[in-house]
Structure 1
Amino acid sequence: MELDDAYANAAYIPGADTFPEAWERRAAGFREGMIEQGLAELGIPYGDSARQRFDLFVPRETPKGLFAFVHGGYWLRFDKSVWSHLAGGMLHHGWAVAMPSYDLAPDVTIAQITGQIARFCAVAAQMVAGPVRLAGHSAGGHLVARMAVPGVLPDAVAGRLAHVMPISPVADLRPLLQTSMNAQFGMDMAAAEAESPVLQRPIAGLPVTAWVGGDERPAFLDQARWLADAWGCAHVVDAGKHHFDVIDGLADGDSEMVKTLLS
């Protein structure tokens, strides 16, 4: 299809095939340490299907609030178990961290995944008091951007949002109609428009930061800029970072990414 190459990431990242195993190894080690300390609750249900589960990691002290990270993978792959280590940065600052899995296309539509993430946010927010901060990567960036749109989250949760960070987001789904992936998404133009944050407006006054790696594919640089332009939100181009390592800052409590999330 016409835009397959534009939205291909792995082919342009040296050693791309080594990243998933490294993520899984770091995530498993992080979970083991949190379990040993009694600071993890795994597989909490938020819906009826087997994949509608999330993991919750908590600090030793009373949490300052809830941070949720939504993974990417083009709504087609991965689950919560690959990303546990990315909880480290916000935990360092005393925040509870929730990470969901969700059903994947083609078993469900992207709109249905959006609904699942809204339910996840509502359930997780019931478990942790205080403000709520969200980040998501790639397809997860799309999903957290959708949470920032009025009417997607329950009012009680939306009113607690303190910062939303779509990282390397797919903010305009219309170009995906020109990719082979759409055979699994099953979108037409109306569905793509309905799920495109660039065609919507965020909750008034909500801090949003569109974050993208400086070495990403031009399509992802465009997507982040389109969202920032449409929403008038902050826009960070992280120099030297590509689509797979741009999320590393979430694991580091001293990173600019975490500092921005907390601002």
Structure 2
Amino acid sequence: MDQASWDAAYNNVDHIPDGASYPARWQARATTYLAKCLGQGRAQNDLPYGRGDRALFDLILPQGAAEGLVVFVHGGYWLKFDKTYWTHLAAGPTLAGWAVAMPSYDLCPDVRIGDITRQVAQAITVAAEQVAGPIALAGHSAGGHLVSRMMEPGMLPDAVAARLVSCVPISPVSDLAPLMNTSMNESLRIDAGEAQAESPVHMTDRLDVPVTVWVGAAERPSFLDQARWQAEAWGVDLVEATDRHHFDVIDALEDPGSAMCRAILRHG
């Protein structure tokens, strides 16, 4: 395929009805939800986990003592967005009694994808100091890639890794090599070495943590492929959510009784 074809294969916005409107809608819902949680004394925002303006996370707390911690890592092809777009997705886990940490991270081309991987590991490590108990990881799109990378032994400190109870990559990018053919790679700067080192499909040594790969059944064929490749390479469960596309598959995080929340929290 030529570059235009590769770009189309990994373009979600133009293949989702009213796709361009989603970011503003996400951020509006997230802002309203964060304000509500702050007003209830259930949120702490802009907690630092490292150096730099983007090395910050928000912590949303449940009513009462937290059963554990969910860390949600956002997507955007490692090029866009920050924690302020996603706070509403903490609703499901917090209603189920879990705290939720949502980090921002530096973006390409200022850093490489491998740098972001290490930054997310640092964010999880610092967030884990705030909440006792089990830790569950979830991430969407590029965030699905990033939480998958946390399954590499040694990526997280042993004490943090020992607390992990689940990892749910949602619509993940599991093989970076195809993105080398897109125009995005002018900013991502993925080369063959980084594609090999940073692609979850090539991770043969992994932590013994339950993993469920999630994807919308109505997603672009490229993302269905990416999810299937990871599930097959890792020998883990794959859920294809009926009638869900790349931008609404994450809505299930707002419902504590959803199959997605139950998989993250290991309830049923």
TM range (shorter): over 0.9
SS at match of 1:35: helix
SS at match of 1:47: coil
Instruction: Tell me: CA distance 1:202–1:228, structure 2 relative to 1, closer, same or farther (3 Å).
Output: farther
CA contact (8 A) 1:202 1:231 kept: no
Aligned to 1:66: 69
Q: Are 2:56 and 1:53 aligned?
A: yes
Question: Partners in 1 of 2:122 and 2:204 — Cα distance?
Answer: 21
TM-score, normalization by structure 2:
0.96
Question: Partners in 2 of 1:204 and 1:95 — Cα distance?
Answer: 23
Instruction: Report 1:148-167 matches (<5 A).
Output: 148-167=151-170
Per the TM alignment, residue 204 of structure 1 is displaced from its structure 2 partner at its CA by 4.2
> Which digits, 9 at most, give the CA deviation of each residue in 1:66-95, with x for residues without a partner?
001000000000000000000000001110
- For structure 1, the residue ranges without an aligned partner over 5 or more in a row are none
> Which digits, 9 at most, give the CA deviation of each residue in 1:185-211, with x for residues without a partner?
112101111000100036343100000
> Which digits, 9 at most, give the CA deviation of each residue in 1:201-253, with x for residues without a partner?
36343100000000000000000000000000110000100000000000111
> Which digits, 9 at most, give the CA deviation of each residue in 1:94-126, with x for residues without a partner?
101000000000000000000000000000001
Aligned to 1:218: 221
Instruction: Tell me: CA distance 1:244–1:202, structure 2 relative to 1, closer, same or farther (3 Å).
Output: farther
CA contact (8 A) 1:57 1:96 kept: yes
SS at match of 2:169: strand
Q: Are 2:79 and 1:76 aligned?
A: yes
Per the TM alignment, residue 146 of structure 1 is displaced from its structure 2 partner at its CA by 0.2
Letter in 1 for 2:164: L
Question: Partners in 1 of 2:202 and 2:138 — Cα distance?
Answer: 20
CA contact (8 A) 2:151 2:207 kept: no
Question: Partners in 1 of 2:205 and 2:250 — Cα distance?
Answer: 23
Q: Give the counterpart of 1:93 among 92, 96, 99.
A: 96
Kindly tell me the number of residue pairs found equivalent between the two proteins: 263
SS at match of 2:129: helix
Aligned to 1:33: 36
Instruction: Tell me: CA distance 1:202–1:16, structure 2 relative to 1, closer, same or farther (3 Å).
Output: farther
Per the TM alignment, residue 60 of structure 1 is displaced from its structure 2 partner at its CA by 2.1
- For structure 2, the residue ranges without an aligned partner over 5 or more in a row are none
Letter in 1 for 2:7: D
Query: Cα RMSD (Å) of the superposition?
Result: 0.9
Identity of aligned residues (%): 54
Aligned to 2:114: 111
Q: Are 2:141 and 1:138 aligned?
A: yes
Aligned to 2:248: 245
